[in-house]
Amino acid sequence: MPDSEARSRSGIGMRIWASPLEGLGFVTILLFLVGTINVFSASFVLGSQLLGDSLYFLKRHLAAALIGLAGMAFIIRQGYSWFLKRITIWTALTMVLLIAVFFIGVEANGARRWLAVGSFTTFQPSEPAKLVGVLAAAAYIGPRLDRRAVSLFSYPILITAALAALVIIQPDMGTGMIIFAMCLVPYLVAGIPRREWAVLGLVGGGGVVLLISRAAYRAERILAWVNPEGYSQTSGYQPLQSLLAIGSGGLKGTGLGMGASKFYYLPEAHTDFAFAIWAQETGFVGAVIVLLLVGALTCYGIRIALESNDGRGRILAIGIIFMIVGQAVGNVAMVLSLLPVTGVPMPFFSYGGSALIVNIWAMGFLFSVAAESARRGRKGGALPAPDTSFRPKLRLSERLAQHGR
């Protein structure tokens, strides 16, 4: 009996895909398709009744996807190293766009967060700022993994903190914190001195408390999170409607397009709370399927990071996974009222052209890391073994990856 057949029968070494890149591509396509169906289902009522076009949001969603795919193709063709070498340019450009928001930005709901692109389209510069934070961290940390010379007191942290501050004063505290986290997480994974952990905890905790205390609506959101019934007509209305939508879905849901909450009961039903509409219409089964897809994306992404022989690619892959999966987990926790309402979008599920474009670009960088690893692997033993300084931080993930080989 051939070894491969024996392994298949015993369940050892079985694979669905020939490589993590193939698996990641399939899962990403599935997430996008399911998310696109949900965007249409959650938005056609609003588009039809307010804009006279039930396909209004779907068409813009697909247009943003095309822009994202064009950028993804360019990223894969150039390779992630080309972008990391020019991180100063991307950081400066993002800074200029964020500053421009205060002068020529479009104001909505008391915040100025968007730049007008043409007559009917806007762009949110805070979205690419998330990706820039990941790129900056990878460019700095990657070459220093072997030397264990990673420190929080470095230019990526300072620059990303400045980008986050510009977003927070728009005001958009939730997105600002996400931008900073995008850069911070790779540092934590790579390892930083204990004293810097202490500084981070004190400064970060104090900063959050200060920001909440300086704005009454932020404090009210925290109180509404703790006691939504007490704020059922104000800040607690949205969380309560979200829970009602999810609970009414039951096991199998009400059916696609048949959810009642999008009929003006649940605000932002097609954006921040799109996952609640999906859970209502597809039920517990549909929600679990999406979470399993997010889990599969996480596993394939970690596998790609572990198999990369380039420190920059490894850190970049970890940062991208946290960027996509972290926001997905945060959004699901928000719609379940496990976290306060912060405006965190669900990647590929929430309507938003800027977010969709940047998320597709981010996946392009992850594909680029996987493609580069495969290309180097085909050349044979010219590369050193992956440095071990990084692996203890991912010990469980590494064991899972080795088991699948």
pLDDT of res. 320: 96
**Measuring CA to CA, which residue among 178, 151, 179, 154 is closest to residue 95?**
179
pLDDT of res. 15: 63
- Strand pairing report for 105-108 and 121-123: unpaired
pLDDT of res. 116: 83
pLDDT (tens place) for every residue of the chain, 405 residues total: 444 444 444 333 336 777 888 999 999 999 999 999 999 999 999 999 888 899 999 999 999 999 999 999 999 999 999 999 999 999 999 999 999 998 888 877 667 888 887 766 788 999 999 999 999 999 999 888 766 667 787 888 889 999 999 999 888 888 889 999 888 888 888 877 778 888 888 888 888 888 887 877 888 888 888 888 888 888 889 999 999 999 999 999 999 989 989 888 888 889 999 999 999 999 999 999 999 999 999 999 999 999 998 899 999 999 999 999 999 999 999 999 999 988 789 999 999 999 999 999 999 999 999 998 887 765 544 434 444 333 334 443 343 344 333
Distance of alpha carbon 251 from alpha carbon 262, whole angstroms:
19
pLDDT of res. 377: 66
Rounded to two decimals, what is the model's pTM?
0.87
pLDDT of res. 278: 96
pLDDT of res. 382: 40
Helix spans in 231-344 (H): 237-249, 274-307, 311-335
What residues does 121 pair with on adjacent strands? 117
- Give the length of the chain: 405
Read off the tokens for 275: 């996952």
pLDDT of res. 246: 95
Specify whether the CB–CB gap between 278 and 286 falls below 8 A: yes
